[in-house]
């Protein structure tokens, strides 16, 4: 009996040990399952953040960056977490929503959220070093625990650069349409009035037998008609840019420039102008005919705005650039005041109404360059200091043998 009782106690003890062991194993398995579930959730959340089109940036309770997803890194071309915050100004230029006024670091949405603000659609612009400016809308908020203690802050930024660019383009086109309406009502009305007036005078002179005045009347009618034709042709040419472009090809800029100067030999000789062309201009890829129109307009402009009493000198060349060739047409003429550098490319914007032309040439040039995904700008110190027009064009595609090297 004593032996049986001892055996029963022993078996009962082992059963309890097995039960405790099983309970511990069950708890450990559940914990491991919970940890695995948490790891999966974290992996899913991390993958989701990495593949979001929006840029997501977060900082911890100490204000240091702890999250910078792939979209944000691609925007900037680097990971700011590897850069001390005091060095950020060397890598970023921050602007308010208009892209013109600089933004202080204290006004950045993430910083404001860290200080307790919640922001919706806060506009700003970011220009990272070596990257184009991006316009963004940011939503930002502080991160708080269940005791309302600050854990950090997060900002989600959506790139609206394309939308903003389209809005600005629409605004520009509306402004052009307004100027076009004015021009049609003014510049076209002028020749019509002239034609109508001298047609009446022509009839009267015929009726009165004043045949000696007929030639003058007809000449004035012809001049007015020519002016109207020129304006209409310029407007038609402008409207075709972007809709009618020749297939892009590799263009030898040396040959294109020499061919163009041959076509302009008459007006160049009439002005006794000296034209200097840089040797070995880099080849480009684009519409040869349209690129020729760019050069023609810029050279004719240089001839038109030469300084009285000084022999015109025009320089055509290119300067080194990492991504795309930068060409220039430089003159030593009357120059352009800095306040007009951005307006001269507007449709019908003429700085001197006494000169020939309709104010369409530079608008045409800008549109051609932009349709080649290029840029154009002007540099001049002002009156009497000459003018240089710079423009970029896509580089010619590498030859097969060059690619193989």
pLDDT in tens, 176-232: 667 666 666 666 677 777 777 778 777 887 877 777 777 877 888 887 777 777 777
Quick one: pLDDT at residue 403?
Answer: 46
Quick one: pLDDT at residue 241?
Answer: 62
Radius of gyration of the chain (CA): 36
Helix/strand/coil for 350: coil
Domains (ranges, CATH) in the chain? 50-159 (3.30.450.20), 164-240 (1.10.287.130), 246-400 (3.30.565.10)
Q: Find out whether 258 and 278 touch, Cβ atoms under 8 Å.
A: no
When pLDDT is averaged across residues 319-334 and rounded to a whole number, the result is: 84
When pLDDT is averaged across residues 384-397 and rounded to a whole number, the result is: 88
When pLDDT is averaged across residues 373-383 and rounded to a whole number, the result is: 85
Distance CA(102)–CA(93), nearest Å, equals: 8
Cβ neighbours, 10 Å, residue 280: 9
Distance CA(352)–CA(368), nearest Å, equals: 24
Least confident span in 10-19, 54-63, 204-213, 348-357: 348-357
Cβ neighbours, 10 Å, residue 205: 17
Least confident span in 136-150, 198-212, 250-264, 321-335: 198-212
Which whole-number Å values give the CA distances from 397 to 198, 201, 283, 374, 403, in the listed order?
Answer: 57, 61, 9, 16, 10
Least confident span in 115-119, 193-197, 269-273, 347-351: 347-351
Question: What are 29-78's pLDDT values in tens digits?
Answer: 767 766 766 676 666 656 667 778 888 888 899 888 888 888 887 776 66
Nearest one of 41, 39, 91, 38 to 65, comparing CA atoms: 91
Q: Spell out a b/e string for 209-241, using b for 16 or more CB atoms within 10 Å of the CB, else e.
A: eeeeeeeebeebbeebeebbeebeebbeebeeb
- At 113, the pLDDT band (50, 70, 90 cuts) reads very high
pTM score of the predicted model: 0.50
When pLDDT is averaged across residues 292-310 and rounded to a whole number, the result is: 87
Report the DSSP pairing between strands 313-319 and 274-277.
parallel
Which whole-number Å values give the CA distances from 131 to 63, 73, 74, 91, 159, in the listed order?
Answer: 26, 12, 10, 10, 14
CA count, 13 A, side-chain hemisphere, 216: 6
- At 404, the pLDDT band (50, 70, 90 cuts) reads very low
């Amino acid at each position: 009996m004593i032996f049986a009782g001892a055996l029963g106690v022993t078996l009962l003890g082992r059963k309890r040990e097995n039960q405790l062991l099983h309970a511990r194993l069950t708890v450990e398995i559940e914990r491991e399952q919970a940890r695995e579930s948490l790891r999966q959730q974290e992996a899913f959340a991390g993958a989701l953040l990495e593949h979001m089109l929006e840029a997501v940036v977060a900082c911890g309770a100490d204000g240091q960056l702890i999250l910078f997803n792939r979209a944000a890194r691609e925007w900037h071309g680097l990971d700011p977490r590897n850069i001390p915050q005091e060095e950020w100004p060397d890598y970023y230029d921050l602007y308010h929503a208009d892209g013109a006024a600089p933004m202080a670091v204290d006004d950045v949405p993430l910083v404001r959220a860290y200080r307790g603000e919640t922001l919706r659609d806060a506009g700003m612009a970011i220009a990272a070093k070596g990257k184009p400016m991006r316009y963004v809308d940011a939503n930002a908020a502080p991160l708080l625990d269940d005791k309302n203690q600050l854990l950090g802050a997060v900002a989600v930024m959506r790139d609206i650069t394309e939308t903003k660019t389209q809005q600005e383009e629409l605004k520009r086109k509306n402004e052009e349409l307004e100027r076009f309406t004015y021009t049609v009502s003014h510049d076209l009305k002028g020749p019509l009035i002239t034609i109508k007036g001298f047609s009446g005078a022509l009839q009267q002179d015929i009726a009165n037998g004043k045949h000696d005045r007929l030639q003058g009347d007809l000449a004035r009618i012809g001049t007015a008609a020519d002016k109207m034709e020129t304006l209409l042709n310029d407007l038609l040419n402008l409207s075709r840019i972007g809709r009618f472009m020749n297939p892009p090809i590799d263009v030898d800029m040396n040959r294109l420039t020499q061919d163009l100067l041959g076509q302009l030999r008459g007006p160049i000789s009439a002005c006794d102008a000296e034209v200097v062309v840089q040797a070995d201009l880099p080849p480009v890829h684009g519409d040869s005919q349209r690129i020729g129109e760019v050069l023609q307009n810029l050279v004719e402009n240089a001839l038109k705005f030469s300084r009285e009493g000084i022999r015109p000198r025009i320089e055509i060349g290119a300067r080194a650039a990492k991504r795309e060739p930068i060409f220039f047409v430089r003159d030593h003429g009357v120059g352009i005041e800095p306040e007009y550098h951005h307006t001269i490319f507007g449709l019908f914007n003429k700085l001197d109404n006494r000169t020939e032309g309709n104010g369409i040439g530079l608008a045409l040039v800008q549109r051609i360059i932009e349709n080649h995904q290029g840029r154009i700008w002007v540099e001049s110190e002002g009156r009497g200091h000459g003018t240089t027009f710079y423009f970029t064009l896509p580089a010619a595609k590498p030859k097969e043998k060059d690619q193989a090297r």
